[in-house]
Structure 1
């Protein structure tokens, strides 16, 4: 999610059974060269990773596992990719290379979905990270499917040869809007391609149109993937993976608490709340009124008067550079 998965939102979803969270796409070159970019693009805190129960298949019991934070990088230069990764490594559990962003500015810059037909460059980007962070440090890629699945296969095989840890597959091409259907057959094809390697299978994660826990379960079964990723669905319902049909108001309160006095810029804060409350607004007029609010104070007044929500005790958010 470009811009939207800042630390406040990541911590919220991790408290509702989201096991792996991703930062917004961080531009590797700018992050490497600019202290201002580092201050702006990445912050974390000691408690943003949640804990969840993982079933031990062989032992038939569960154990507590801490969630993971992955920093997603955008770029096309192995040197800057590696340098940005090295700066981030002490604070994250893995690095992801964005090979799927369909936005026109990203494509023109030669990043995101512009990498889908450049498997050798993707290989070099993976190697650039591993050269600075070590072979064992998790490095993944996020891709979109290609109109010609032979290109998807080539990209997956090349990334596997570079020893990526997992591959996230969005089931649309770079030309398709989010209103168009996801190709589950194409995701399944990609997942099957990732199983054929002398070094063993590479886990795949499906992405696209995950709006409910039932969507997640159905997609996993249809595509034969190891996990699922949600973006727009989680924006509207951060409690999606806990099985809630909409986020409980206690979750909204938690979000405003996490956001209070942390420097979370108002437009993002406001947009997140508008998305979360979309299933609470009684009509279009109420939504329109909420969207017209122009300050944190007026938003907090609305939440208190309408839902009896006020911020709770604060927890700190840390910038790390």
Structure 2
């Protein structure tokens, strides 16, 4: 299902409302587990995969509002969904009220909330006045949030995702301004727009944000395991913890596994095949997922395959890759190596 005016979609259910999810997780004495937006890699198959392994809230990749509104091809390529794609947050890149409102009008029936990107540091995005460019324009962001809330009220939830400023007083001013405009929750990446990912996230700064507003706050940065999620939640007091690099490498992480399970590989293959994920994206997902599972030379063999058919043949030649409907599909933790005929002869 794509975001077409002629498509039909069921009403969103209260249990998929992110605000209700925050409350439910708090009642379970834990933060909400969130899979953040990733350029090219937060597509429908991956979103469904991480939900299979306990993610509560999942984001789409960032979609440029202006292109989505104007271009039919962009709509079809940027966003697909189905009835199981819940709770899903669509992240949008926009820098004015008109583009944002047009985008929201087209997409809001198909998602559980809209996330406004105010933190992406990629230079091309900043030059376009979106992403981290908005960090210096809290008044503009507040007007955009207010425009959505004035038109839709509680019918449409809106989040802002930011990075911290070097002067944390600016961060506090920013979040208090967007909260006053009606934002439903705020996600904070604990780095500035120039801080390298190799530098640790500033959880004290995120805690300061949490203490400065009354709306829910999500912590983003340095979450690579379930233990990290609980620790970050404790350090920041936040309502949710977002993983990005960590969950890309290990989509099983929120289910408590320290590396990608073989069952996750089988489920991913099933979803990628069913939904038609492009070969190079499929290959990249598997390469990152298996980096800590298989030896480097084995991963290199996989990366040397040149087509989807060659890639699936490589898996079937080397492993027991169960299909949906087969016994123990999606359940194995360790790779199921296939014993080759010549190896069998030596046994």
TM bracket (short chain): 0.7 to 0.9
Task: With the length of structure 2 as denominator, give the TM-score of the two structures.
Answer: 0.80
Whole-Å separation in 2 of the counterparts to 1:216 and 1:100:
21
Contact persistence 2:220–2:242 (CA under 8 A): yes
CA-to-aligned-CA distance 1:228-264 (integer Å, 9 cap, x gap): 0001111011111110112221111111111115331
Residue aligning to 2:309:
297
Residue aligning to 1:39:
76
Equivalent position SS for 1:293: coil
Whole-Å separation in 2 of the counterparts to 1:299 and 1:244:
25
Could you tell me which runs of 5 or more consecutive residues in structure 2 were left unpaired when the two chains were aligned: 1-37, 326-347
Q: 1:275 to 1:290 in 2, by over 3 A?
A: same
1:4 aligned to which of 37, 41, 44: 41
Could you tell me which runs of 5 or more consecutive residues in structure 1 were left unpaired when the two chains were aligned: 50-67, 195-200, 314-321
Whole-Å separation in 1 of the counterparts to 2:122 and 2:251:
24
Contact persistence 2:149–2:182 (CA under 8 A): no
Over alpha carbons, which structure has the higher Rg? 2
Residue aligning to 1:316:
none
1:19 aligned to which of 41, 48, 56: 56
Whole-Å separation in 2 of the counterparts to 1:46 and 1:222:
35
Residue aligning to 1:228:
241
Please show how residues 86-235 of structure 1 align to structure 2 within 5 Å.
Answer: 86-194=105-213, 201-235=214-248
Q: 1:285 to 1:303 in 2, by over 3 A?
A: same
Whole-Å separation in 1 of the counterparts to 2:302 and 2:180:
50
Computed over aligned residues only, the root mean square deviation of the Cα atoms, in angstroms, reads 1.3
Whole-Å separation in 1 of the counterparts to 2:69 and 2:187:
25
Contact persistence 1:20–1:69 (CA under 8 A): yes
Whole-Å separation in 2 of the counterparts to 1:132 and 1:268:
37
Contact persistence 2:203–2:232 (CA under 8 A): yes
Whole-Å separation in 2 of the counterparts to 1:161 and 1:219:
26
Contact persistence 2:260–2:289 (CA under 8 A): yes
Contact persistence 1:213–1:242 (CA under 8 A): yes
